[in-house]
Amino acid sequence: MFVSASNYAKNVDSVMLYIIGISVALLLIITFAMIIFVIRYNRKKNPIASQIEGNKTLEVVWIIIPVALVLTMFFYSFSVYKESRVVPPNAMNVKVEAKMWAWKFYYDNGKVTDTLFLPAGRPVKFNIVSQDVNHSFYIPAFRIKEDAVPGRENYMVVKPEQIGAFDIACAEYCGLNHSLMYTRVYVVPEKEFAQWLNGEVDDDYLRKYVASHSEGYKDYLSGSYAILFAKGCVQCHNIDERKGIGPSFPELRRQFARVNVGGKDTTVVIDKEYLRESILYPETMIVKGYEKQAMPSMLNKIKDEELELIVDLLYSNFVKNKQ
């Protein structure tokens, strides 16, 4: 099975295996019976078809057994489903806000992030809302999925158990960049989480903690494009040549950019200063051909070190790389 980062996920897997096991067993029984009937009642052995009378005992058995199996599947799956609906007294509340095409997470102390951080071993109640269209909050490693519907608040309960970094996706088609509506959840020990929630450590500290204490997540330390996904850049700007809501990153390989400044078209040099200005004050220089959808400013939404990391990453991988 896939990664299971909570006991609920393991229980969901058990239900799935139980249902699949029964289905496979029934398939084999029915297939075996069909083969027997084909051999026993073929035309050569039965040139004249014979009438088979009913058998009340057999009829009762083949009604009772399927009904019993279906009921066991229902009650087993419902008992697991209830785990995601019952809110423990010590549950931590996190408001999940969905909008095209990004996630925001609100904590009880007023902290707001675009990446989800959770303590291991503590129940969490997600209060899920949407600001525009239907979305679906989906964390495969937790086996949870709940719709985000405009004008309505849904909820889901989970208790993370495994330290690590796991994907968050939208599982409801929500428009052009639905496939890019990704972020991550970082599960850390409660002590480290409390330090982060109180402002004693920053997001980077928790990311590095996860990277050094779990297998399979080294991309943050190795300097990949993780920051572009974490900050939602790829929701509008593609890493490949495809055009999106905004210019693709490979377009930075040009030495100059045609932009609109104060209503007048002009040409500017693509350098690190241009990248900083475009991130913090995107309305001052709008790239020609992309005037319809205004880019939101990242001013006061991104840390200085994160800004420089993104600028260096874009400059090194796209501006300087002319290939």
| pLDDT per residue as tens digits for the range 69-98 | 999 999 999 999 999 999 999 999 999 999
- Residue 221 has what pLDDT? 42
Q: Structural domains in the chain?
A: 7-45+53-83 (no CATH), 92-212 (2.60.40.420), 236-319 (1.10.760.10)
Signed CA dihedral, 64, 70, 73, 76: sign only: negative
Question: Tell me: the pLDDT tens digits for 289-301?
Answer: 887 777 888 888 7
> Can you tell me the distance from the alpha carbon of 275 to that of 284, in angstroms, rounded to the nearest whole number?
12
Is 246 in contact with 298 (CB distance < 8 Å)?
Answer: no
Query: ∠ at Cα 48 (42, 52), nearest 5°?
Result: 80
178/171 Cα distance (integer angstroms): 9
CA distance 283 to 261: 9
Those residues with Cβ within 8 angstroms of residue 15's Cβ, 6 or more apart along the chain or in another chain = 73, 76, 77, 80
Specify the pTM. Answer: 0.66
The position carrying tokens 């393991």 is 10
Residue 2 pLDDT level (bands cut at 50, 70, 90): low
What pLDDT does 218 receive? 46
Nearest to 207 by CA among 129, 306, 138, 280: 306
